[in-house]
A and B are shown apart, each in its own frame.
Chain A
Amino acid sequence: MINVGLIIMAVGMLVVFAFLTIMVVMMRAMSGLILKFFPEKEEPVPVRAASAGADDAEVAVAIAAACSL
């Protein structure tokens, strides 16, 4: 049984390493392909309309509240 224990130890570590090494390779390839062919579009910064006055006031209140803590 000691032999079998050693075998499982060796085979197990080998398989775990092999599996994760293959994963590293696959992930590198995947990231390379995706970044090359499907680059993320630059998200346009949402520009708020001028009517954001109320929001600004709310933000100012929030900041004031946070500062007074």
Chain B
Amino acid sequence: MQFFDSLLELWRTTGIYGFLQDGGWGNIVMIAVGLTLIYLAIKKGFEPLLLIPIGFGAVLSNIPFAEIASHTIRTVGADGHVSVDVFGGFIGQFYDMGVASGLFPLLIFMGVGAMTDFGPLLANPKTLLLGAAAQFGIFFALFGTVILEQIPGFSFVTAADGTQLADSILHVAGSIGIIGGADGPTAIFTTARLAPQYLGPIAVAAYSYMALVPIIQPPIMKALTSSAERQIKMEQLRHVTKTEKIVFPLIVLVLCILLLPSATPLIGMLMFGNLLKECMVTDRLSDTAQNALMNTVTIMLGLSLGSKMSAHVFLNLTTLGILLLGLIAFMIGTATGVMLAKLMNKLSPKSPINPLIGAAGVSAVPMAARVANKVGLDENPNNYLLMHAMGPNVAGVIGSAVAAGVLLALVPILGG
């Protein structure tokens, strides 16, 4: 008799048994979503460095009984002594350590800083304004989220079963809006702080739209500009001295310290990485920041994000809302960038700006700059805009970090 009992007990630990239990179908669907992401990454080349870890993380985290994504449970005793009751699964531990704490996006930002050349921006500082204009998409989508929440029966804050998913609609709105910054690490950092339940869909939306830049942007750019505007030739960028490049990160940091401390984790790490690159005496550290460390963190970050793709949040009408609002944010950001470039040409016609580079203001480095370059080349095969577009492109990174700083400072106060 004991033989059959043992067999039965073993059967009850199998995945098949787990999938047949309550909520098991959600796991199956999420594993399918994970596999779809892996397929898109390998076959279609969509951001493979991130989507493969995310996809695999989604598969691993939805295995019944394995509890790979479970979090460590701690109790704090009366004397303040912290004891660990149950250790979480390995992806759960990655998540606790790096995503919930905001550590991974910051390390990635350091790597981005070490890879970024701010030279084109220093040569033509006014392109910074294009990076500011393109952030309008963020705030537009934020407002759009608040409007969507008014629709009866559609709520970002409370799930259908009454679970509270976020502190307030503003917390969700800020996180969805930041997709429009087209900057993965910034979006993750902000969402982990404001509405961690939505990390999965928001991270996937942010990275998917970054991969789709070459499809989303050109029609908008062409619709808003005339052929003559697209052919505008820009003056060659002046040479930027080494001293300027070294002093630049320090100045940006000081400015951020004085005006917007809530953005200093992001901007600080970006500028730290950039200083490592530019100061010439820390080549080893710069190399580690942009290669080994960045790759390590990307693996752990991807797996953690995949673990947040739970059926509970993902298989929901709100996910469609997030994808839609993210797309709108992106398109509006592209449009306002182009429009501001046109306006600047009206105001100071002396050294004209090709309005196409305004679209590069939505970060997504360096994809957006390449798109601006390509659309320009389509119009005039001798007009290379890449270096000019890198200015607003890196300005967009700073711009979205500043926007994130504003959201992190304002939302918790106004949202209550």
Scoring A21, A23, A24 by chain B CB atoms within 10 A of each residue's CB, the highest score goes to A23
Min CB–CB distance A28 → chain B (angstroms) = 6
Q: CB-nearest residue of chain A relative to B245?
A: A34
Of the residues B170, B402, B411, contact of A19 by C-beta under 8 Å: B402
B107-136 contacts to A, CB under 8 A, are 121-122, 125-126, 128-129, 131-133, 135-136
List residues of chain A with CB within 8 A of the CB of B125. 23-24, 27-28, 31
Instruction: Knowing A12-B407, A31-B244, say if A5 contacts B143 (CB, 8 Å).
Output: yes
Among residues 10 to 46 in chain A, which have CB atoms less than 8 Å away from a CB atom of chain B?
11-13, 15-17, 19-24, 26-28, 30-31, 34-35, 38-40
**Structural contact, B147 and A2, CB atoms closer than 8 A:** yes
**Which residues does chain A contribute within 8 Å of B241, judged by CB atoms?**
34-35, 38-40
Known: A20-B402, A30-B248, A40-B243. A8 touches B128 (CB 8 A): no
Q: A47 — which chain B residues lie within 8 A by C-beta?
A: none
Interface residues of B in 211-264 (CB under 8 A from A): 240-244, 247-248, 251-252, 255, 259-260
CB contact under 8 A between A27 and B143, given known A2-B150, A19-B402, A20-B399: no
Complex CA gap A5/B402 in Å reads: 18
Min CB–CB distance B389 → chain A (angstroms): 17
Q: How many residue-residue contacts, CB under 8 A, span A and B?
A: 116
Instruction: Give the residues in chain A near B255, CB-CB below 8 Å.
Output: 19, 22-23, 26
Contact residues in A for B133 (Cβ distance below 8 Å):
17
Q: Which of A2, A26, A34, A39 contacts B146 (CB 8 A)?
A: A2
| Interface check A9, CB cutoff 8 A | yes
Interface flag for A59 (CB, 8 Å): no
Residues of A within 8 A of B90 (CB): none
Give residues of chain B (359-416) contacting chain A, Cβ–Cβ below 8 Å. 395, 398-399, 402-403, 406-407, 410-411, 414-415
The complex places the Cα of A40 from the Cα of B411 at a distance, in Å, of: 46
Evaluate contact between A5 and B146: CB separation under 8 angstroms.
yes
Cα(A6)–Cα(B140), bound, Å: 9
Q: Any chain A CB within 8 A of the CB of B357? A: no
* Bound: A12/B149 CA distance, A: 21
Please pick, from B129, B149, B244, B414, the residue contacting A24 in the complex, using a CB distance under 8 A.
B129
Q: Is A1 among interface residues, defined by CB-CB distance under 8 A? A: yes
Chain A nearest Cβ from B110, distance in angstroms: 20
State whether A23 touches B136 (Cβ < 8 A).
no
B138 on the A face (CB < 8 A)? yes
In the bound assembly, the distance between CA atoms of A53 and B145 in angstroms comes to: 70
Contact B251 A26, beta carbon cutoff 8 Å: yes
Q: Is the CB of A8 within 8 A of B411?
A: yes
A35: chain B residues at CB < 8 Å are 241, 244
A60 at the interface (CB under 8 A from B): no
Cβ contacts under 8 Å, B202 to chain A: none
B interface with A by C-beta (< 8 Å): 121-122, 125-126, 128-129, 131-133, 135-136, 138-140, 142-143, 145-147, 149-150, 168-170, 173-174, 240-244, 247-248, 251-252, 255, 259-260, 395, 398-399, 402-403, 406-407, 410-411, 414-415
User: Could you list 7 further interchain pairs (A-B, Cβ under 8 angstroms) beyond the known A4-B414, A16-B135?
Assistant: A4-B170, A5-B143, A6-B143, A12-B407, A20-B131, A22-B259, A31-B122
Q: Which residues of A contact B (CB under 8 A)?
A: 1-2, 4-9, 11-13, 15-17, 19-24, 26-28, 30-31, 34-35, 38-40
Q: Identify 19 residue pairs between A and B in the complex whose beta-carbon atoms are under 8 Å apart, listed by A's number.
A: A2-B146, A7-B414, A8-B170, A8-B410, A9-B142, A11-B406, A11-B410, A12-B135, A15-B260, A15-B402, A16-B135, A16-B403, A16-B406, A17-B132, A20-B402, A23-B255, A23-B398, A26-B251, A27-B122
